[in-house]
Structure 1
């Protein structure tokens, strides 16, 4: 196991480029600094090239410096998470799909503005990554579009999210020929979503693959941009559509047979949510429902 005092000595030395200044910063003698570096080099090989006026890191030294920074960041995150369990202080860590994340992240920032003791850490990710991140304790809270069956996870309904057919503002869809005329703007989940929504409302359709593809984007916040420019239609979750700033340039086509997904809030089953996490969940549910 890495000696963290030696690692700290190395990262300070790499930052300052001087044994003398590193010793002053750390409150050590130069001999102690040299000894720490020597112990690390015994384990890892040469870390530094000692030049007359500066120090140059070897490839092993560069790798160790990056590791040292990651350790420092993890240490800071741990201190924030364990500082206290008050409802309005500490780290909020949430990982979610991109569509609902577009709506939740601004709400989290509003909550942080009102409670400066919060530190928000949010990541956009597909369902599988969400589950893995919560299982590995990288995030306390996660949102997924299906209910996991892993006994290590507790899943409760968080909100519902309809799929929507979105077209340019001056367009309408009466039958399949209108979709053929417009063309499809695809995205990573586009064909699966389109198959579900269109299959339910155009039961005899020849399939989404029969429609001309007019574009593709893997950025959830940009999928509606070509639609707003009149270049085609797409199928997208409601939260992603609501987050699009140019709402006047698009139109949602209502169907008699909607497709509505449940979003599931997940966390580890072995221990209860922290007070701040429960506070955040209650806040987000109230804002989303309104």
Structure 2
């Protein structure tokens, strides 16, 4: 067993990056912090590389850092079980990819308007960041497009999101030539998404390289904007399209070809979900089911 006071000094040293700042943070002397680290090193071996301008941990130091983080998470889990699980108010923390984030954030705000005792904290991030943040305990809930294989996480199917061929209002895409005439509004995942969908929609097509790029934007909420101005077509996840405020200026290709991604809800396996999070998930499922069952037509009522 490690002395908790020694571990606090070690954690403070990692967080602060120097003995002086760690001492200030703990309200003790620098000599005391140094002594605590030496006492730990008598049990573990060298923890830090001395003589470096910036703090650098040895393999033993990395192992002890992970141990300290696990203790911190264990304390949080205990607090949740003892105090927070049945608490109706408080924070709902979610991390997810940007497309589904565009859809669920307004829905969660609608819930907060009905229940002001809630606080919504949402961050959009790619899959690997979602998993890392949930594992670190910084977010209670995560949504990812690939089922995690980490045994520390629980994952369940949450909803589905089809890819859509999005055209300017009044346009059709009956042939590859129609798309070539329009031009492609690209985005960071644009060519990959377009290839996945259009290879099924137009089998044997000559590939995206045969279509001129008529625009590029890396903000997912703005991708439909040039399409609405008749500057080209794009391929997007449905929730990204639904978030665009001027739906009447868009047309979704209604050909019965489906490329659908599953969104997985993930959280720490050993960490009970709070009651408020369970209620928020039920709220989201209720409203997202309307999106799944809705036909591919444009509606002016985006958020309920």
After TM superposition, the score normalised by the length of structure 2 is 0.69
In structure 2, the residue matched to 1:101 is: 101
SS in 1 for 2:222: coil
Report if the CA contact (8 A) 1:164-1:236 is conserved.
yes
Give, in whole Å, the separation in 2 of the partners of 1:192 and 1:271.
36
Give, in whole Å, the separation in 2 of the partners of 1:209 and 1:142.
35
SS in 2 for 1:206: coil
Give, in whole Å, the separation in 2 of the partners of 1:84 and 1:272.
10
In structure 1, the residue matched to 2:227 is: 227
Q: Cα RMSD between the aligned structures?
A: 2.8
In structure 2, the residue matched to 1:141 is: 141
Give, in whole Å, the separation in 2 of the partners of 1:197 and 1:252.
13
Deviation at 1:40, TM superposition (A): 6.5
In structure 2, the residue matched to 1:183 is: 183
Runs of 5+ unmatched residues, structure 2: 1-8, 35-75, 291-304
After TM superposition, the score normalised by the length of structure 1 is 0.72
Report if the CA contact (8 A) 2:161-2:260 is conserved.
yes
Q: How many residues align?
A: 231
Could you list the per-position Cα deviations for residues 42-68 of structure 1 after superposition, in whole angstroms to 9, with x for gaps in the alignment? 989xxxxxxxxxxxxxxxxxxxxxxxx
In structure 2, the residue matched to 1:266 is: 266
In structure 2, the residue matched to 1:150 is: 150
Deviation at 1:190, TM superposition (A): 0.9
In structure 1, the residue matched to 2:217 is: 217
Give, in whole Å, the separation in 1 of the partners of 2:31 and 2:120.
38
Give, in whole Å, the separation in 1 of the partners of 2:31 and 2:24.
10
In structure 1, the residue matched to 2:42 is: none
Report if the CA contact (8 A) 2:97-2:124 is conserved.
yes
Runs of 4+ in 1 over 6 A off after TM superposition: 40-44
SS in 1 for 2:255: coil
Report if the CA contact (8 A) 2:185-2:213 is conserved.
yes
